[in-house]
């Protein structure tokens, strides 16, 4: 009987997943193409309004803090998006702002993943990813509070200065950072995967990778805090206009991992 109960629970779980997926498909197909374009235009306008409202968290009128804010997003990811801006003194910065309702959406996604993990665990005990999801959920909760990211990035910035490694961590503005808004210096650069740019500036790719490897080795084995999300979108290359030297820029310090001395020793092995 217990075996049949497990099968029915598994069937129920996968049925929910399948039905949800088909309903989403149907809603997408039901929307005419011309309305899809209008929908995304409204979403961009909505995000612009969210930016303006969230900036008010900084305890000041945005017009008193910023000289100009570019309404067009410079980049966008799952949790937030980044806009160029200029402070009153003309300093170029970027504003990272959370998407609307991202906490509710993330919570919903986590529940779905937990259901899937449970269903997989019924079929095969080795496929239960519950512990991994729990750690991910704790990390994601911190990613939704940019004050954690601020503390991580400030520490990484100081660590780079101590290390002497030729890597850039953007400088932050703690007084202009809140739970949903983060302000940091604008660092000019291009994505490390932009092969045309690498060729154009005759970048020594081996040397560039040495700098990155040295930086992450220092983060892990010396400082004990390292960037846990170093995908190509979070790594830029800055070219010195005078010398032509290429320097990697490491962005997005929301997801990090810390090691104590025991963890560092274990990782070294």
- Residue 192 sits in which domain range? 165-170+188-268
The answer to the question of residue 158 being in a domain is no
The answer to the question of residue 120 being in a domain is yes
pLDDT higher than 90, residue 13: no
CA distance 227 to 123: 35
250 touches 207 (CB < 8 A):
no
What is the number of structural domains in the chain?
A: 3
Do 243 and 194 belong together in one domain? yes
The answer to the question of residue 39 being in a domain is yes
The answer to the question of residue 149 being in a domain is no
**Which tens digit of pLDDT belongs to each residue from 186-232?**
999 999 999 999 999 999 999 999 999 999 999 999 999 999 989 88
pTM: 0.70
CA distance 130 to 134: 6
The band of 80, judged by pLDDT with boundaries at 50, 70 and 90, is confident
Average pLDDT of every residue of the chain = 79
Do 112 and 93 belong together in one domain? no
The answer to the question of residue 196 being in a domain is yes
Do 80 and 25 belong together in one domain? yes
The answer to the question of residue 225 being in a domain is yes
CA distance 147 to 177: 7
* Rounded mean pLDDT, 106-122: 66
CA distance 130 to 117: 6
Do 89 and 26 belong together in one domain? yes
| CATH number of the structural domain spanning residue 218 | 1.10.510
Q: DSSP state, 219?
A: I
Structure tokens at 57: 């968290």
The answer to the question of residue 177 being in a domain is no
Do 121 and 85 belong together in one domain? no
The answer to the question of residue 70 being in a domain is yes
Do 116 and 201 belong together in one domain? no
Q: Is the dihedral of CA 25, 30, 35, 38 positive or negative?
A: negative
Do 10 and 94 belong together in one domain? yes
Helix, coil or strand: residue 40? helix
Q: What is the pLDDT of residue 118?
A: 66
């Amino acid at each position: 009987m217990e075996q049949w109960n497990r099968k029915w629970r598994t069937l129920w779980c996968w049925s929910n997943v399948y039905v949800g997926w088909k309903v989403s498909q149907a809603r997408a197909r039901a929307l005419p193409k011309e309305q899809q374009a209008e929908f995304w235009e409204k979403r961009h306008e909505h995000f612009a309004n969210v930016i303006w409202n969230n900036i008010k968290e900084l305890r000041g009128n945005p017009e008193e803090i910023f000289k100009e804010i570019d309404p067009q997003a410079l980049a966008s990811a799952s949790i937030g998006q980044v806009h160029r801006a200029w402070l009153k003194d003309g300093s170029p910065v970027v504003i990272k702002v959370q998407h609307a309702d991202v906490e509710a959406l993330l919570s919903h996604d986590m529940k779905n993943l937990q259901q899937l993990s449970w269903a997989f665990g019924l079929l095969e005990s080795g496929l239960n990813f519950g512990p991994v999801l729990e750690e991910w959920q704790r990390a994601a909760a911190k990613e939704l509070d940019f004050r954690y990211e601020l503390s991580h990035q400030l520490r990484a910035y100081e660590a780079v200065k101590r290390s002497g490694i030729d890597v850039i961590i953007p400088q932050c503005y703690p007084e202009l950072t809140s739970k949903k808004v983060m302000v940091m210096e604008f660092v000019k650069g291009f994505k490390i995967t932009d092969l045309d740019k690498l060729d154009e500036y005759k970048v020594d790719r081996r040397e560039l990778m040495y700098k990155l490897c040295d930086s992450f080795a220092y983060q892990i084995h010396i400082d004990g805090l390292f960037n846990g999300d170093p995908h190509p979108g979070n790594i830029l290359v800055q070219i010195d206009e005078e010398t032509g030297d290429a320097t990697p820029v490491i962005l997005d310090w929301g997801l990090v991992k810390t090691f104590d001395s025991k963890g560092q020793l274990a990782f070294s092995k």
